[in-house]
Amino acid sequence: MSETNTRMAPIVVDHPLVQHKLTRLRQASTSTAGFRRLTRELSLLLCYEATRDLPTEAVEIETPVESTTGRTLSGKKLCFISILRAGNGILDGMLDLVPAARVGHIGLYRDHDTLEAIEYYMKLPDDVAERDCIVVDPMLATGHSAAAAIDRVKAAGVTNIIFVCLLGAPEGMDYMAARHPDVKIVTCSIDRGLNEKGYIVPGLGDAGDRLFGTR
């Protein structure tokens, strides 16, 4: 996929199971264990949608009954790239669906005054430029962290990138569209907006704190 000036419309997964699990995830009363489980389940469903257009090829196989033609994945292999720390909560569900995928990590934190993303760690597979990449982070708020992470991934030679998040804000969607119009976004919901602290509303709180029990 080449970069263009045409904005790619985000994909909001409105499947009833996704929306039901998202509602439970939002609830303040959901326990840490429940939040982790729901995040894993939602991540698997989002991965299903994000990988919908993977290329396939015909192969001849033998079933216990007869010969037949099936389809198997072809083309580039996948790499999941987690934006630390909260992105790690999404990895398990995705790896359940695609266990052979490689995994990369990018460590970023948000400066609370400027809201800019500051990098402190990056480790990607050696062959990442030869793979299609799915970058994951539970929240797309201002979009600064996601855009900064994708800057690094593109600098490593990756040309086909999808961004997956549980929730997004219109401000983050617009920022990503301006910085990376070629990157498809897959999410469960685009919420109302950001509050004065840069948090998504109504949102679900701090995803990292809720995943790791540090709230």
Active site residues: 110, 114, 206, 209
Residue 179 annotated as part of some ligand binding site:
no
Residue 141 annotated as part of some ligand binding site:
yes
Residue 115 annotated as part of some ligand binding site:
no
Residue 200 annotated as part of some ligand binding site:
yes
Residue 14 annotated as part of some ligand binding site:
no
Place of tokens 């995928």: 101
Distance CA 112, CA 198 (A): 9
Residue 137 annotated as part of some ligand binding site:
yes
Residue 110 annotated as part of some ligand binding site:
yes
Residue 23 annotated as part of some ligand binding site:
no
State the binding site.
85, 110, 137-145, 200, 205-207
**From the annotation, which residues make up the binding site for 5-phospho-alpha-D-ribose 1-diphosphate?**
85, 110, 137-145, 206
Q: Which residues are annotated as a binding site for uracil?
A: 200, 205-207
